[in-house]
Structure 1
């Protein structure tokens, strides 16, 4: 039977006590984890909004019978403003997360110094929730009390559920979201560069953007663990609904 992907199987023979060779099966698991989840999340946020918002804006302006050059100008202005706004939002979110971690780290550090017995009891309570008995977690508690830094990291992770954030995370998040938004935002506007008639450009933009949404949704589903085809359909449906709503609103305003 062939080994599964991600596993390495070693076979070795050793003599048994009765002289008959027995086969030992050693299976080593090679874990493959995707570690760039934060980056993927930022790219998803940026590209999904970048594809959807300018798409809806262009469709709405097309519904108002605006010429292509005005739609393109308004769309590019929106992409620039949206990229800055989204990037700033990503920066502030990551910065707030880092500030929250620093505050909790300082508070936990003070508690370890001021009330060590209480904090040690909290370690015991945490470990007991994993099914460990007092005689099993007792040595762990004592070992952590001898290592203040490990004790602090344990409390941050297992009591508060906080991971130490990357100090460069805020800037990276801002740049990733902003650039992703710009890349996504250019796609629905490209037809307006080459097609002077707004309605024709809009029809081309619909086809190009829906194809981009389907492709992006599929890739997003692959990285996030969702079913790629379902993710692809949902992403395209959201973009189509947003553009249809904007177009209908523009037509309704124009009719009044």
Structure 2
């Protein structure tokens, strides 16, 4: 596959890729937490209706909470970047020699020497925006995040609800058209498939081995379900006679 084709594929999925990280991690949290609620309800021998109520309450409340957290985190990072960027602009304008010397030290550490070093320093310091950008990147090690905080929160919310709904699907079907048997088994199978898909997507986002990512995601979901099941079973003995 040549370079042009690779760039075309990247452009085709550009917008999807941009918020894929938020979608993947929102989906993982949605599936894990909702499946844990269902497992806890099953362990406590709760009725289908109660499990549905608890599941949807968790789905909406946790999804909203997580999306707000993602939005505020992204917004705070952007505001922090802008604050330090403003400081760098002030320093470039008011103490240029000090800032120029810092640029020289940065590029000297990268291996530039003599006349070439001075040319690089002169070139960077001739453009105030470039100068500040270099200081932000190399001195403060800060990179501006161009993604919208609102869209980050929205992608997190949508994925949390969409993937988190899967563990409730079988119980919802049973409520309107009774299945009666093996509800938790069917739920576990469906949720397991969701974990496999979201684990594969996680490997794509992180550029890691698919098998390892799927195993980690399945393991996390299984662990959460086991803990919730036994907690539900234990508490049933205390509170439900």
TM-score (norm 2): 0.88
Question: 62, 65, 69: which one pairs with 1:82?
Answer: 62
Structure 2: how far apart are the matches of 1:80 and 1:7? 43
Question: 234, 237, 240: which one pairs with 1:252?
Answer: 234
8 Å contact 2:200–2:214 — kept in the other structure?
yes
Highest relative contact order (Cα 8 Å, sep 6+), 1 or 2?
2
Residue 30 (structure 1) shift: 7.2
Residue 82 (structure 1) shift: 1.2
Structure 1: how far apart are the matches of 2:163 and 2:109? 46
Structure 1: how far apart are the matches of 2:192 and 2:37? 15
The answer as to 2:209 corresponding to 1:213 is no
Pairing 1:1-256 to 2, within 5 Å after superposition: 5-6=1-2, 39-166=19-146, 169-195=148-174, 196=178, 200-256=182-238
Structure 2: how far apart are the matches of 1:35 and 1:197? 42
Max radius of gyration: which structure? 1
Structure 2: how far apart are the matches of 1:198 and 1:160? 60
Distance of aligned partners of 1:198 and 1:182 in 2 relative to their CA distance in 1, 3 Å threshold: farther
Residue 72 (structure 1) shift: 0.9
8 Å contact 1:43–1:177 — kept in the other structure?
yes
Residue 31 (structure 1) shift: 10
Q: Tell me the alpha carbon deviations over residues 65-88 of structure 1, each in whole angstroms, 9 at most, x when there is no partner.
A: 111111112111111111110110
Structure 2: how far apart are the matches of 1:172 and 1:31? 24
Structure 2: how far apart are the matches of 1:53 and 1:94? 23
8 Å contact 2:124–2:130 — kept in the other structure?
yes
Give the count of matched residue pairs. Answer: 231
Residue 200 (structure 1) shift: 2.4
- The Cα RMSD (Å) is 2.2
8 Å contact 2:136–2:142 — kept in the other structure?
yes
Residue 117 (structure 1) shift: 0.8
